Amino acid sequence: MTGIGPKATLRPMHTGNEPVKSALAERLNRPLAIRSRPVANRLWLAPMAGLGHVAFREVLGHYGGCGLAFTEMCSARAVPTENRRVSAVFRWRDPELDRLVCQIAGADPAELAVAARRVEDEGFFGVDINMGCSVSGIVKKGAGAALLRDHDAALAALDAVRSAVAIPVFVKFRTGWSADIAPAISLARRLESAGADCLVFHPRVAPDKRTRPPMRDHIRVLAEAVSIPVFGNGDVVTPEDCLDMLQGTGCAGVSVGRMAIARPWIFAEWTGGDLPAEVLEGDGFKDYALRLADALDRHFDPIRALKRFKLFTIYFAANFTYGHSLQSPFLAAKTMDDVREAARRLLVPELRLTRRPNMNMYNI
């Protein structure tokens, strides 16, 4: 695992096409307000179950550059009575609240409304209604992407949340259960009329677990159909990808998911911010893994911390040419101290990076 290639192989994330990066930073830093509330920039962290937890967001804050972050999906039924010190997903650090949106999932308008009020009372920037998750357990309850089959139910959900809170209301959704964009356009217009402040759109059919490329032109059609901001999501990996989405679709901004887990400093890099010294000096990956291990230990019990670190390794190891080999020692770890030992031993500057993550791992 060591001695493969020169140290310079760790530098693609902060070298390359400077005109692209300059144009991208200019686009991402254009002023934007959601329901009259300003946001720092137009590059956001997407909600991701098991990945976008409080520990990861703490580490993300170290690197900077993220305009808004979204929590993991939280059950609307559970949120009103959740204890933030105990809950696996409904937890946060107070300093991040002014740039944090809580995503809730549910089918009962009354439950969604009560959950949204709790979110507002806690001081979150906004609340996001999940209309995109196609996991069978969520869909069977009529939540997530199931709402894309019943637009009246989707509107009832939004109406309840919009009536309950004054904070910004976001909706994350997909094209639908077929590749026909017409239903999504109709829904987007109805969501805007019902008071949604921003739409985050993933242009894939609901059952597609990223086995096919996103239908990026659907973002353009949707953005042209409404006047509220539409953020694009899906397979944004390089600065060129991000700029292409902005220029080619006219979307208001970009929501990044798995690439944020792979390289959390892309927010600072793409918005023209300062990168930490450890990234510039080639030790960014080791530092990142160790920071995340420490943050997981602070926020979760040992079993949950280890489980979440192992989930993270899929995306982290995809950065490297020999990612499958790199992942194995982390998956074999029995404790977080084992994780730290593996990070110090294996994450050396000589590891060879890929410019784009290994998609065979990245699409899991």
42, 253 contact by CB (below 8 A): yes
Q: What is the mean pLDDT of residues 253-267?
A: 97
| Alpha helices (runs of H) in the chain, residue ranges in sequence order | 18-28, 54-63, 109-122, 136-139, 151-164, 182-193, 217-225, 239-249, 258-262, 266-270, 277-280, 284-299, 302-317, 323-331, 336-346, 359-362
144, 105 contact by CB (below 8 A): yes
231, 199 contact by CB (below 8 A): yes
Q: What is the mean pLDDT of residues 49-53?
A: 96
pLDDT at site 364: 43
**In which band, very low, low, confident or very high, does the pLDDT at 221 lie, cut at 50, 70 and 90?**
very high
Give yes or no for residue 244 having a pLDDT over 60: yes
Residue 63 in 3-state DSSP?
Answer: helix
Active site residues: 133
Q: What are the C-alpha distances in Å from 91 to residues 86, 88, 112, 116, 223?
A: 8, 7, 18, 15, 32
Could you read off the pLDDT of 145-182 as tens digits, one per residue?
999 999 999 999 999 999 999 999 999 999 999 999 99
Q: How far apart are CA 86 and CA 92, in angstroms?
A: 11
233, 200 contact by CB (below 8 A): yes
**In which band, very low, low, confident or very high, does the pLDDT at 351 lie, cut at 50, 70 and 90?**
confident
102 — phi, psi (to 5°)? -95, 125
146 — phi, psi (to 5°)? -60, -30
Q: How far apart are CA 91 and CA 78, in angstroms?
A: 13
| Alpha helices (runs of H) in 165-283, residue ranges in sequence order | 182-193, 217-225, 239-249, 258-262, 266-270, 277-280
End-to-end Cα distance, the chain? 23
pLDDT at site 2: 36
Could you read off the pLDDT of 280-309 as tens digits, one per residue?
888 999 999 999 999 999 999 999 999 999
Residue 251 in 3-state DSSP?
Answer: coil
**282 token code pair:** 């080639």
Which percentage of the chain shows pLDDT scores above 90? Answer: 85
| Alpha helices (runs of H) in 173-238, residue ranges in sequence order | 182-193, 217-225
CB atoms within 10 A of CB 22: 12
